[in-house]
Amino acid sequence: MGTVSVRIEKVGKRYHIGGALQRSNTLRDALVAAVRRPVERIRHPGSATSSNEDLWALRDVSIGVEEGEVLGLIGGNGAGKSTLLKLLSRITEPTEGVIELEGRVGSLLEVGTGFHAELTGRENIYLNGAILGMTRAEINERFDGIVEFSEISRFLDTPVKRYSSGMYVRLAFAVAAYLEPEILLIDEVLAVGDAAFQRKCLGRMEDVAEGGRTVIFVSHNMQTVRALCTRVVELSAGHVVNSGPPSQVIDDYLKLQWGVDGVVQWEGDERPGDDDVRLAAVKVLGHDWQPTPVVISSQPFRVQLDVDLARVPEGLTIGFDLTTSDGTVVFRSYQTDPSPEYWPTLSPGRNELQCEISANLLNHGRYTVHPRISIDRVRWIVHGGAVSFDVHRDPGESINALVDKPGAIAPLLTWRRGDEQP
């Protein structure tokens, strides 16, 4: 321990976003722009400074990773996680700063990079292996292991275009799993494949880390990060904002992300939505129908969505996802779930829609409401933002139920003997 295997020092990456908007996509545009630019500069001196066209995807980032560490990178969209992995894997260059890497780097930013649909499984193992940086000798040596891991040996000589998506992912991941560099970079690739195969992949990754290799891992799935990583770094808007043991950084991150007092409200143009539909508030109402950050599991409670409508668009669905603190969706509910005669009427102006969640359903712990408003099967209007609340489980009269239970929910269910008529 103690040997630094990745040293990132004061690294920054700048993109020209103004350039992206005004970028010349065709030669003609480029020529026109080349003529126009000096003219514009004479007309509006000093207007087009480069600074307001630049976006620093990463700025002043310094991280040291020791050999054998599994470092998790977390942060919202656009925090700079993926950009950092691209810099580490040399796909793109930093604008400033220095990165030192001790050992061979293998990067897995996508499973099946370079897979070709027309080629067979066997051919793609060699092609993908070479693209990921293995030599032919190494692929030969690991070939049997890869085939066994992927569970597709019967279809080895079938073009991958005839594979099911599950088979495709398994083969692609199997090649990657046998990449054995000293430093492994992984971006959100575990989000694919079925649960059993995911578990197998996680196991393989743990073996890799125990073998003294360094792993840097980006994921939105907090459960995976918590399970795999020895240390977590949180990025926000291109800066390191938190770093430390996984549970601490992840809890801080989740708290920061969502309001925890049972209410989120927006005013005017802040309200998420479009011209017709805007979300004004999300509230969690306790058994007295007042907003609360804490509900008791033995009492019913309600989730209220305040929606402002300029007009009522056809097919408007209003609802939410309820998730656990690690992001697992417990359920999704819409006002249109029951048959139409039970739908609440919507009218222009403020609509306060309440959804009642029955007593004795949720487990002890923190849950989050993610509002979702859409025109059914057409487009999303609101999709994001959230309110968190804590559930305290009232154990009721049973002594056995005092013990904390595993599970996303803890419903109180009926038990009876099979030979008794209900």
Where along the sequence are the contacts to another protein (CB under 8 A)? 15, 24-28, 30, 86-105, 107, 109-110, 113-114, 116, 118-119, 123, 126-127, 130-133, 135-136, 159, 182
CB of 30 to another protein, least distance (A): 6
DSSP-H helix ranges across 194-245: 195-210, 222-228
Residue 51: CB minimum distance to another protein, A = 18
Q: Closer to another protein at the Cβ: 207 or 404?
A: 207
CB of 90 to another protein, least distance (A): 4
Of the two residues 107 and 219, which places its CB atom closer to another protein in the complex? 107
Rounded Cα distance between 291 and 302, Å, is 9
C-alpha dihedral sign at 99, 102, 103, 107: negative
C-beta closer to another protein: residue 133 or 245: 133
- Nearest distance from C-beta of residue 96 to another protein, angstroms: 6
Amino acid at 323: T
Q: Give the residue carrying structure tokens 């007009």.
A: 311
Give least dist CB 94 to another protein, A: 6
Q: Which is nearer to another protein, 19 or 344 (CB)?
A: 19
Nearer to another protein, 84 or 357 (CB): 84
* Closer residue to another protein (CB): 61 or 410: 61
* Contact between 10 and 94 (Cβ < 8 Å): no
CA atoms within 13 A of residue 410's CA, in its CB half-sphere = 22
Q: Which residue has the tokens 């029951």?
A: 338
User: What is the smallest separation between the CB atom of 26 and another protein, expressed in angstroms?
Assistant: 5
Query: Between 118 and 397, whose beta carbon lies closer to another protein?
Result: 118
Beta carbon nearer to another protein, 20 or 310: 20
User: Is 3 within 8 Å of 57 (Cβ atoms)?
Assistant: no
CB 11 within 8 A of CB 92: no
Residue 8: name the closest of 104, 100, 106, 105 by CA.
100
- The β-bridge relationship of strands 214-218 and 183-187 is parallel
Q: Nearest approach, Cβ of 130 to another protein (angstroms)?
A: 4
Q: Kindly state the tokens that stand for 231.
A: 């240390």
Record the tokens describing residue 384, joined without a space: 């994001």
Tell me how far, at minimum, the Cβ of 28 lies from another protein, in Å: 7
Looking at the DSSP assignment, which residues form a beta bridge with residue 294? 390
Angle at CA 314, nearest 5°, toward 310 and 319?
80
95 or 317: CB nearest another protein: 95
* Residue 233 burial (10 A CB sphere; 0-12, 13-18, 19+): buried
CB of 33 to another protein, least distance (A): 11
In sequence order, the 6+-apart residues with CB closer than 8 A to the CB of 333 are: 319, 320, 322, 355
